[in-house]
Amino acid sequence: MLNFDEPRYLGIQAGAVGLAARIRSVVQDRLDAGAKNIVFMGAGGVGTLMEPAADLLRTRSTLPVHTIMPAEVVVQGSVHVGPDSLVIMPSLSGTTGESVEALAWCKERGATVVTLVGHGDTPLAEQADVSLVNFAADDTSCESFYLQSLLVALAVMEARGELAAQSFDDVVQQLQLLPSLLVEAKRAFEPRAAAFAQRIKDEPYHIITGAGSTWPEAFYYGMCILEEMQWIRTRPVHASDFFHGTLELVEQGVSVWIFKGEDSSRPLTERVEKFAPQYTDEVWVLDTADVDLPGVSQETRSLVSPVLLAALLERLSSHLEVLRDHPLTTRRYYKRVAY
């Protein structure tokens, strides 16, 4: 596979799953101590990666859950953050300025802050009540953060007796198979990724849509990969909102990407899939149901759809940066100038 370090990838994703026992313990302890809500508070793309877990809790748990931007909470405040709050704060670098400020703000109000970071010996690792460290880099962090936040959500539901289909241990046992299965999925997808990258390398604009757990990945890939790392304009739009405005931009030659997952929101993306090809010949469907995952139940597959998408899309990114002669690390402004 092009520019892919398999041992490194396997170690990072196994490390994320390996945090399961500690995440379970931290969540159980905090709920036992009387936590009355959970707050996911991540800046930028990593905050978006928390959304599938937050949505899982919103639909399957009665524990109140909130997603709040760190920069906003510092200037606006929030009545939902206080001594009875469990705050989950992710940051790959562990140094994100907005999150460092928000962590101090949360601690001043008595909240318990758990950070998910890629590096120890950083402000977010050192100043949190609990810090969970799993090294990752930009090309591997999506899956790692998706998995860690999923484990947080599952631990919450287990502690509250809200896991119905499978036990926490059952899901973790299957997740332990995932790193090697993701590598095989990448390998199988490689020819398709190379061909699609060749096809779209000069396209200036893409509409990207998803629903349920795939919507955050649609938003993330558009904003953080194509826009930030490739300087390609995108329009991420939720599949249900597609028909409240964005459909009017669809015409021949307009690129539409549809990310299909395996949760109950799948009919929403299928609606776009039925509509778009009638009006444009540039429709690309990426469906997690096409990925072979032996040993993983359908229930667990529905939980890891964004993980699968992130794994496959990394292959597309690797080919795009070569074909466009634009390394994924190239920036004009991000962490380069004052803002």
pLDDT per position as a tens digit, 280-323: 999 999 999 999 999 999 999 999 999 999 999 999 999 999 99
- Distance CA(260)–CA(272), nearest Å, equals 10
- Distance CA(41)–CA(287), nearest Å, equals 29
List Cα–Cα distances, 69 to 9, 108, 124, 328, in angstroms.
Answer: 29, 17, 16, 25
Beta pairing partners, 130:
114
Dihedral sign computed on CA atoms, order 307, 130, 11, 92? positive
Domains 6-175 and 182-323 share a fold: yes
Specify the CATH number of the domain 6-175. Answer: 3.40.50.10490
pLDDT for 339:
85
pLDDT for 164:
84
CB of 231 closer than 8 Å to CB of 206: no
Q: Which segments of the chain have a pLDDT < 50?
A: none
Domain range list for the chain: 6-175, 182-323
- Distance CA(320)–CA(206), nearest Å, equals 14
pLDDT for 238:
98
∠ CA 212-218-220 to the nearest 5 degrees?
A: 115
CB of 266 closer than 8 Å to CB of 259: no
pLDDT per position as a tens digit, 82-112: 999 999 999 999 999 999 999 999 999 999 9
Is the entire prediction scored with pTM above 0.85? yes
CATH superfamily, domain 182-323, is: Glucose-6-phosphate isomerase like protein; domain 1 (3.40.50.10490)
List Cα–Cα distances, 282 to 7, 28, 222, 250, 276, in angstroms.
Answer: 36, 48, 17, 10, 9
pLDDT for 165:
79
